[in-house]
Structure 1
Amino acid sequence: MRKTLAAVCYILMLAADAAAGYFTYRAFVQKISYDQGVLTFVPLFIVSYWFSTFFSQLIHPRGSKPIIGRGLYNFLYWLSTLLSLALLGTWVYLFIDRSLYLNFGTEVSGELRY
């Protein structure tokens, strides 16, 4: 039962990351606004983190035998961690590119904004 629940949690975590990636892409190519992208990304990222935590607790519960091998667990854990870090890195870039530069006197359509 734990193995099935762990698989469901991992699949839901990947689905939340995929949805977050989709909205990140749409914000990156400016199909949706930066603000809408952030407001959609943050809850999806939180859901992804929750399912990652549930997955880890189901695989390696305290005081119980792990249900999958250490190597497979490390692979799945690092895969999800790198995917999440890539999404966060993209949002840091979008924040700097779309929001931060406009607040520090950069030139917008021939005028300086202060």
Structure 2
Amino acid sequence: MTRRAALFRALGALCEAPHPAHAPIAHALGLRATDASGYTEAFVFQLPPYASIYLGAEGMLGGEARGRIAGFWQAVGISPPGEPDHLAALLSLYAALDEAEEDESEPARRVMRREAKGALLWE
């Protein structure tokens, strides 16, 4: 696993509901572990961690935007999870693409993996 992939996976874990297993991850990143109230304030009231809310024309959870995101997962050969637009899932997907790029020996396919990472971040 690359250092970048490990970082993205760690950040993804911290975007999920608080769990005791997250404390060592937060500590390793130099962050304070959050509690349920901090998580609720950040991810329920202020910044819901679902891309479809920000990318969809309707500004709501799910819909066409979630479908497009699920399609991206499929396009890169990975079965989408139940919430393909959740920040934790997207960070995990980026980590998987980063690892696939690192492990790829064929130059053209390596470029494709790199381009997929860019598309995930900027599309």
What is the TM-score of this pair, normalised by structure 1? 0.31
What is the TM-score of this pair, normalised by structure 2? 0.29
